[in-house]
A and B are shown apart, each in its own frame.
Chain A
């Protein structure tokens, strides 16, 4: 894991076109971005596409990154925007269903079934509420950081998290 100073150095090198430095940054953040994209889309295949697009976008717009912000927050913002703008392709829902059925068959473990049910519940939330709950619950961002990543006010994040939690409690009450 690279420290903050190392990360700054890698960013500066990447900004001057050093591919190797950016590859190191990808290795550092790829799991975090994949998880976010998976929870936003409910599909591993879409998460892989979105994560790739997120890093490509980040590299091509690296000049816009300001050192005072955290690189991970900046990446979150790109990934959330990519996820919210992700086109609802016709084939996508079919692919999602197939993938879930396959995943459910592949593993009989109770935990995996439960994980799929929770993901299913997340998918029932409006995308912006889903993004707010993912950033605050899974990625541990406080409401101010989530607001920065989502490009909205802290109050909006609080409201979205509250609304999302209320819905999730209702949907998941049978799993308790």
Chain B
């Protein structure tokens, strides 16, 4: 079979003719659909719906971004930890058994020293606490107190390495996950060179 024979054969295959007054009715049917879609697209209810959908989508995007940001903020990088460890070791060498807590905030490091070298020898703990007013980092020990947004919290660590923070408005344990109320908390033992 050559191309022209194939063409001839294909062209002989007629398209079935729709029945009745199909051709007269078809344009009217299409335009009725067009009108329906146009009125649907321009109805005030639809505008309100579209507006709400946009707001909801924006809120969802914001919530996801905030969650990712907050998680990133709450997770200290190895470099940050190394820097804090170095700083802590220097202070500890200068004031042996006197360091109750080191606090790092936007202004820089602050330290809380005991008057006498009375702080018991225990493994240092690293805490990163992110809340509505920003993030704070601490190096402290079990049994010491730290201040979070004006709330005095006791830091406790058990033998399994779990850390508990107990204050009048905050009670958190590392076993429950990072999120508590409006805070995101990370706590771990700070391994030192000594």
Contacts and interface: CB of A to CB of B under 8 A. Distances in A.
Interface of A: 19, 22-23, 26-27, 30-31, 34-35, 38-39, 44, 48, 51-52, 55-56, 59-60, 103, 111, 114-115, 118-119, 133, 137-138, 165, 168-169, 172-173, 175-176
Given A56-B33, A118-B13, 19 more contacts: A23-B31, A26-B27, A30-B23, A30-B26, A48-B22, A52-B33, A56-B30, A59-B30, A114-B12, A115-B13, A115-B14, A115-B16, A118-B10, A118-B12, A133-B10, A165-B3, A168-B6, A169-B6, A172-B1
B11 A138 contact: yes
Of B14, B28, B34, most A-chain CB atoms within 10 Å: B34
Contacts of A26: 26-27, 30-31
B10 A176 contact: no
Interface in B5-23: 5-7, 9-16, 18, 22-23
A34 B23 CA distance: 10
A55 B18 CA distance: 18
B31 A44 contact: no
Given A26-B27, A30-B27, A173-B1, A35 B34 contact: no
Interface string B104-129: 00000000000000000000000000
Which secondary structure dominates chain A's binding surface? Answer: helix
Interface of B: 1, 3, 5-7, 9-16, 18, 22-23, 26-31, 33-35, 37
A52 B18 contact: no
Which secondary structure dominates chain B's binding surface? Answer: helix
A137 B11 contact: yes
A44 to B, nearest CB: 6
Nearest to B24: A27
Contacts of B12: 111, 114-115, 118
Contacts of A169: 1, 6
Given A23-B27, A30-B26, A169-B1, A56 B34 contact: yes
Of B7, B26, B31, B37, most A-chain CB atoms within 10 Å: B26
A35 B15 contact: yes
Contacts of B9: 118, 172, 175-176
Nearest to A35: B15
Nearest to A118: B13
A55 B30 contact: yes
A103 B35 contact: no
B40 to A, nearest CB: 12
Nearest to B5: A176
A133 B3 CA distance: 12
Contacts of A133: 10
Contact of A31 (B1, B10, B23, B34): B23
Contact of B34 (A34, A59, A137, A165): A59
A38 to B, nearest CB: 5
Contacts of A165: 3, 6
A158 to B, nearest CB: 13
A23 B28 contact: yes
5 contacts: A31-B23, A52-B29, A55-B30, A56-B33, A172-B6
Contact of A27 (B5, B7, B27): B27
B178 to A, nearest CB: 45
A44 B16 CA distance: 8
Contacts of A176: 1, 5, 9
